[in-house]
Amino acid sequence: MATKTAEPPAHSRVPNGPTLLRNYIGGRFVDGGRPFDVVDPATGRVHAIAHEADQAIVDAAVAAARKAVEGEWGRMTLAKRRAMLNAVADGIERRFDDFLEAEIADTGKPHELAHHLDIPRGAANFRVFADAIANLSTETFEMDTPDGGKALNYAVRKPLGVVGVISPWNLPLLLMTWKVAPALACGNAVIVKPSEETPSSTTLLGEVMSEVGMPDGVFNVIHGFGPESAGEMLTSHPGVRAITFTGETRTGAAIMRSAAPSVKALSFELGGKNPAIVFADADMDAALAGLSRAVFLNTGQVCLAPERIYVERPVFDAFVAGMKVRAEAMKPGLPHDAGVNFGPLISAEHRDKVLGYYRSAVEDGATVVTGGGVPDLAGEAAGGFFVQPTLWTGLAHDARVCREEIFGPCAAIIPFDGEEEAVRMANDTEYGLASSIWTTNLSRAHRVGKAMEVGISWVNCWFLRDLRTPFGGAKMSGVGREGGEHSINFYSEPTNICIKL
């Protein structure tokens, strides 16, 4: 495939200073308007400066994307388009270390987590949807006509056109490519607005797109914020046909309002207040291993993490004691330091929010099993946005920390006395993203798994994903489903062709 060079590069380095992150429009990197700082959460220091996109840049991105859909990209055969997606995956893997450092600098997450999860999944998403688009059929029906003849109806998939992708800060590369890959597989062009907290890996992907010869305008990146900035400009732009977003429920509602006048297609994966249920017959070691990972992975900054754990009373004390041991074994620190498995929160603002919930739990009568504050760290990590892994007991089911999404490394552990009570409490929330059930009773596993009012219900596991399956939330946790055919159906629209025979 042809290789082209984008000028100037995305990651130019100011001597002894931060990386400069530019907008990527029509296959070229361009300066924006007001620059803004990107902070390393592990140290609190500025590590990059991003260029905020203004209305002219957003307009240029939409024009470039539309030109790509109407031009070379739109005319490209499916086989060549699939080859391009696999080339992007190869490009991510070829520059694995660059993506790893970009992701770590933006998020502060431990090296091992980003190395084994974020970057491999970023590449895998392109391969998964390159395969998915080749293996889906469309409808075909033969019908009788009123005059006694026959007609053949068949559907063809067509791209939507220009798709706006607004990606979150907790798993920046993974969740961005989870949307970009199927959108491109269907023949759309995309404009990505990464979180202002984590713009580096998305910008770096622009370099890879140029390196593998992706046609100009197929992939575009605009930097900025939400209201009155790049985010709102993208969601309200009449030239954008669809918006896909992962993030807070309140932000999703704002995007709905912004997109409504032009009646865009919307796909949202929003907030959660996820329950876990541990029955007395559960494999206790497996439940403790699984749920300690679920609560503390990525410092609790995972939309699927359980913040409410309901434990059957006969095993309640043993479960709490086991979780305490695992929480206190977490080692916070700088991402590359040996043994570190617990990173910072994404920002000082988010740390203050989480600490506010820690105080609220105590005010509502919680017993702090462990944590509840800020770890004592030395050196560069002393400036990072760290909090302690935290567990509570003694809280009523309707306490604030049991109702509102915290998005931090914490959970309330609450006893229950029967299956019906556990299901009732688990479903008593405005959210419905995920649940995790732990039992060795097969009938109960099926029964309770089905009873959960969520998009994904795990049994004796957590975060186990087949990327072909439907993924999304119920209630206020989202609109639509992603994964395999479900993603393809969102990023394409069928046209029925009826031919009288």
The residues that are catalytic are 269, 303
**How many CA atoms does the CB half-sphere of 109 hold within 13 Å?**
27
Of the candidates 494, 493, 490, 488, the residue with the CA atom closest to the CA atom of residue 82: 488
CA atoms within 13 A on the CB side of 31: 4
- Distance CA(410)–CA(32), nearest Å, equals 39
Contact (Cβ atoms closer than 8 angstroms) between residue 195 and residue 219: no
Degrees to nearest 5, angle at CA 448 with 444 and 449: 110
Q: Residue 465 has which token pair? A: 């994903």
Q: How far is CA 148 from the centre of its chain?
A: 53
Rounded CA separation 223/32 (Å): 8
3-class secondary-structure state, position 208:
helix
Identify the sign of the CA torsion 70, 71, 75, 79: negative
Please count the other Cβ atoms lying within 10 Å of the Cβ belonging to residue 145: 11
Distance between CA atoms of residues 154 and 281, nearest Å: 52
Which residues neighbour 311 within 8 Å (Cβ) at sequence distance 6 or greater? 278, 319, 320, 413, 414, 415, 416
Supply the DSSP symbol for 229: S
Reading the block at residue 180, the tokens are 């970009």
Cβ-Cβ contacts under 8 Å for 455 (sequence gap 6 or more):
432, 433, 434, 470, 471, 472, 473, 474, 477, 478, 481
